[in-house]
Amino acid sequence: MGASVAGVEGVFSADVNFASGLLTFEYDAAVDPRETVATLVRGTGHGVEPLGEAAGGEAPPQTWWQRNRTTAAMAASGQLIATGWALGVVGAPEIVSTVLYALAIVAGGLITWRRAWVSLKARMLDMNVLMTIAVIGAAAIGEWQEGATVIFLFALGGWLESRSLERTRRSIRDLLAFEPELARVVRAGAEVLVPPAEVLLGETLIVRPGERVALDGIIAVGASALDEAPITGESVPVDKAEGDRVFAGSLNTSGLLQVEVTALAADSTLSRIIFLVEEAQAAKAPAQQLVDRFSRLYTPIVVWLAVGIATVPPLAAWVLGAEWGSFASWLYRALVLLVISCPCALVISTPVAIVSAITRASRDGVLVKGGAFLEVAAKVRAIAFDKTGTLTHGRPAVVEVAAENHHEFLALAASLEANSNHPLARAVVAHAEREGIATRAVSGFEELPGRGVGAMIADRHIRLVSPAFAAEIGDVREPLASRITLAEEAGRTVLVLLDEGVPLGYIAVADEVRSTAAGVMDALRSAGMQHLVMLTGDNERTASAIAADAGLTESRARLLPGDKTTAIAELRERYGAVAMIGDGVNDAPALAAADLGIAMGAAGSDTAVETADVALMRDDLSALPGFFDLGRRTVANIRQNVALSIVVKLAVLVLAVFGKATLWMAVFADTGVALIVIANGLRLLKKR
């Protein structure tokens, strides 16, 4: 089909991805051959639907016959064959059965003949051409029943194949179904319904309970639980309140929301996911590229072999006067070879598995950029994790306050930190606010980079500093010094409060490890991951404590971005393929250096979705073990499909050369095995 479209005047290049049902082509806008291409495609019996606004308008409505002609013709062919066979059994004249078989050939080949003609005009030898030659040849040597049966089985196989592949193509339509056709927008004080494409940035959406959010935005008024399954794959609704982000396609399950639009319809997270899934399905994995190259070489070789078998032995027997079988018998063997020669099952063996796996991953909240990355995932044996925001929540929080006067201590500490923008400072202030402690006026505030802060509060010189600096300027004695050491060994960042150099106690802040991290690491190790390591810029003591809590094998501390890429290279030398898990922004060099870069928490993050090979849409690691398992199952599935396709085809090929194969066996070796391969690939759609 791609070559036929490429031959249309004004078309520069064309490509067909049959697994996703997409035809893409480049063309000269001055010629605009889109209607010609659509006519050509419809002429082969395929339906045509424009994809998006660039497709050139709506497709004309189809009649009942256009929608069902393949099914009707196939059913008629089968009925004619059954009637012809029955009449032969009861002793009717042979001519009657022959006429019925001839009519069955015409009906069953209704679509095949048309597609064969289009391929011949494009100077291509595809399965339709080869099947047409085989059936005509069978009729020429008097094998009317076998010719009719072959064309019927071929039509039936194509019909079942198209129905099976439709399951994989449905994934995009399922995602599109989550996009509301209308958005409820507040304009001039009134609520109006408009298409999402007409909504502008900053406008306010009204989302009622039971409605889907039309565009990405931030909740301005209201609170509700939203089902974000189309985006994150998480089936449990997530509670959202004012200031929280919401995504297009999310279902509002309870409260009334007012949402400020932050992205246009074309730029929504759901739109980006749909685009990337389509792009990934169209991209060819290395295994598929290898199969395609093999098929281009294999088909012409077998065709010429068939020509040789049909002509050389009979001619040689005629010249030598030998009895090597009749011309009809050698022609029959050649026809069997022709049916075998088109590698349909082999060609479809890889893309059906890849598309099914990408679809399964997207349903689980994992966005895979292409089949190649599934193949890499199957090879990964070492995984490097960023710390902040990946193994931890990325939000420092106060976990311990050690002071005799808790209230006074927090009031002084929060008063100092209220003047700083450091993440640790915000954690201290937030903790004081939760406890209802008010801050006090300060003067002479000073920020000491890498050490802490200080100021005058009620004529007292108060400082909140690191333990090392506190030891330099204050009198930190036992048992306080030992307690500080224990807190640091537990992976906490400690700040000591000094009043005129006298320690009043300390406050410990930590970025807590995700509760699911240890379980994920156990699952990854069970799945065959040999090495799990954390890469961080933190000190060794903190890194070791967090790595132990998260269940990792190793931690590497005090690493700059360049050091992380070096660490990735070292892991690759020791373990082979390496995956890097990070946030897609700060860890960009390491993500790029790894064989597989995985960004997590990518929902709504343009950078993460665009830069990573794989994106975990949810802000947790729980989907990782399933993704790597899916990668291994995909590669195993492809190997099974390719092996079955080659073994069966070669077996029938050998039988055909020695005259032991029939046309029916040849159809099974191609169409029958193709159906088995599709069914095997579709198993990847199931959740495991």
State pLDDT tens for residues 544-574: 888 888 999 899 987 877 788 889 999 999 9
- Do 396 and 423 touch, CB atoms closer than 8 A? yes
- Do 598 and 554 touch, CB atoms closer than 8 A? no
Instruction: Decide: residue 338, CB within 10 A, 0-12 exposed, 13-18 middle, 19+ buried.
Output: buried
Confidence of residue 257 (pLDDT cuts 50, 70, 90): very high
Mean of pLDDT values over 52-79:
66
Mean of pLDDT values over 103-107:
89
Query: pLDDT digits over 431-471, tens only?
Result: 999 999 989 999 999 888 778 899 999 889 999 998 888 88
Contacts of residue 201, Cβ cutoff 8 Å, sequence gap at least 6: 261, 262, 263, 264
Confidence of residue 285 (pLDDT cuts 50, 70, 90): low
Angle formed by the axes of helices 286-320 and 327-341, nearest 10°: 170
User: Is 50 exceeded by the pLDDT of residue 58?
Assistant: no
Domains along the sequence of the chain with CATH: 2-62 (3.30.70), 183-267 (2.70.150.10), 397-510 (3.40.1110.10)
For residue 9, what pLDDT is reported? 76
Contacts of residue 638, Cβ cutoff 8 Å, sequence gap at least 6: 287, 349, 350, 353, 354
Q: What percent of the chain has pLDDT over 70?
A: 84
User: What's the farthest any 2 CA atoms get from each other in the chain?
Assistant: 123
Q: Pull the structure tokens for residue 227.
A: 């089902």
User: Is 50 exceeded by the pLDDT of residue 57?
Assistant: no
CA-to-CA dists, residue 129 to 74, 150, 152, 488, angstroms: 18, 14, 15, 75
Rounded (5°) CA angle 246-248-252: 65
User: Is 80 exceeded by the pLDDT of residue 281?
Assistant: no
Got the DSSP string for 608-667? Answer: HHHH-SEEE-SSSSTTHHHHHHHHHHHHHHHHHHHHHHHHHHHHHHHHHHTT---HHHHH
For residue 523, what pLDDT is reported? 94
Candidates 596, 591, 598; CA nearest to 621 is 598
User: Is 90 exceeded by the pLDDT of residue 578?
Assistant: yes
Contacts of residue 190, Cβ cutoff 8 Å, sequence gap at least 6: none
Query: pLDDT digits over 8-46, tens only?
Result: 777 877 776 655 567 777 888 777 778 888 777 766 656
User: Is 50 exceeded by the pLDDT of residue 283?
Assistant: yes
User: Is 80 exceeded by the pLDDT of residue 157?
Assistant: no
Which of 5-9, 163-167, 243-247, 505-509 shows the lowest mean pLDDT across its residues? 163-167
For residue 54, what pLDDT is reported? 39
User: Is 60 exceeded by the pLDDT of residue 168?
Assistant: no
For residue 44, what pLDDT is reported? 61
The percent of the chain in helix, strand and coil, each rounded to the nearest 5, is 55, 20, 30
User: Is 90 exceeded by the pLDDT of residue 633?
Assistant: yes
- Strands 382-386, 224-227: pairing kind: unpaired
Selected residue with higher pLDDT from 52 and 671? 671
User: Is 70 exceeded by the pLDDT of residue 50?
Assistant: no
Which of 162-166, 247-251, 297-301 shows the lowest mean pLDDT across its residues? 162-166
User: Is 60 exceeded by the pLDDT of residue 53?
Assistant: no
Confidence of residue 352 (pLDDT cuts 50, 70, 90): confident
Which residue among the candidates 386, 538, 583, 613 is catalytic per the annotation? 386
Confidence of residue 272 (pLDDT cuts 50, 70, 90): confident
Q: Which one-letter DSSP state was computed for residue 499?
A: E
Confidence of residue 115 (pLDDT cuts 50, 70, 90): confident
Which of 129-133, 256-260, 341-345, 536-540 shows the lowest mean pLDDT across its residues? 341-345
User: Is 70 exceeded by the pLDDT of residue 606?
Assistant: no
Task: Please tell me whether residue 183 adopts helix, strand or coil conformation.
Answer: strand
Q: What percent of the chain has pLDDT over 90?
A: 22
SS3 for 83-131 is HHHHHHHCCCCHHHHHHHHHHHHHHHCHHHHHHHHHHHHCCCCCHHHHH
User: Is 50 exceeded by the pLDDT of residue 56?
Assistant: no
pLDDT averaged over every residue in the chain: 81
Confidence of residue 497 (pLDDT cuts 50, 70, 90): very high
Query: 190: which strand partners?
Result: 187
Which of 32-41, 171-180, 625-634 shows the lowest mean pLDDT across its residues? 171-180
Confidence of residue 228 (pLDDT cuts 50, 70, 90): confident
Q: Is 629 a catalytic residue?
A: no
For residue 100, what pLDDT is reported? 92
Query: pLDDT digits over 383-411, tens only?
Result: 999 887 788 887 788 888 998 898 999 99
CA 595 from chain centre, in angstroms, equals 17
Edge-to-edge order in the sheet of strand 238-240: 238-240, 224-227, 251-252
* Rounded Cα–Cα distance for residues 205 and 183 (Å): 7
The HSE-up count of residue 419 (CA atoms within 13 Å, CB side) is 22
For residue 573, what pLDDT is reported? 92
Task: Please tell me whether residue 385 adopts helix, strand or coil conformation.
Answer: strand
Mean of pLDDT values over 568-595:
84
Task: Please tell me whether residue 52 adopts helix, strand or coil conformation.
Answer: coil
SS3 for 229-255 is HHHHCCCCCEEECCCCEECCCCEECCC
For residue 26, what pLDDT is reported? 83
For residue 626, what pLDDT is reported? 92
Mean of pLDDT values over 197-208:
92
